Amino acid sequence: MTLSGYFAVFLAASCAAAATGMVFKPGDWYAALRKPSFTPPGWVFPVVWSYLYVSLAYAAARVAETEGSQLALALFALQIALNTLWTPVFFGARRMAFGMVVIALLWGAVAAMGLAFLRLDLIAGLLVAPYLIWLSLAAALNWRIWRDNRAL
């Protein structure tokens, strides 16, 4: 399999995760929630996620071309499933506490994947860092929004 072939498969998996954002939009419910001061403006989210999904697919493709990358790819599968789960849980079912559990597990899976990538390919490992930083912000947001909107 070529790098671009792998890239296509991982990008398709990322598109499945991204599709949740088109089906479950924040809408009026999210707009009315109390949000912390560090909440980015709405347009930032699709821009950042688009970059992250593409760079992640490229990183995974680099890793897939490396021998002994099975664990790294298993962790990719785990994080893309958790990533696909979060948006419907938070914006669809509006279950903020369960969303917090999912994003915590997602953070752990991405951290483990980042280490596995780093051991196989320096560039691939470094490409995971922005994803982990963004998830840290997203987790902090989820936590604060949950805490500050218990009554809803």
Residues that bind a second copy (CB under 8 A): 1, 5-6, 9-10, 12-14, 16-17, 19-20, 23-24, 60, 64-65, 67, 69-71, 73-78, 80-85, 88-89, 92-93, 95, 98, 102, 105, 109
* Alpha-carbon distances of 66 from 4, 71, 123, 150, rounded to whole Å: 14, 12, 13, 47
Min CB(41)–a second copy separation in Å: 25
**Closer of 36 and 92 to a second copy (Cβ):** 92
Indicate the DSSP class of residue 24: S
Nearer to a second copy, 7 or 38 (CB): 7
- Give the residue carrying structure tokens 């991982």: 10
Tell me the C-alpha distance between 28 and 24, whole Å: 12
Whole-angstrom Cα distance, residue 142 to residue 96? 7
Q: If we measure between CA atoms, which residue out of 138, 137, 110, 136 comes closest to residue 124?
A: 110
CB nearer a second copy, residue 9 or residue 48: 9
- 39 or 55: CB nearest a second copy: 55
> Minimal distance in Å, beta carbon 71 to a second copy?
5
Closest contact distance (angstroms) between CB of 144 and a second copy is 22
DSSP letter (8 states) at residue 60: H
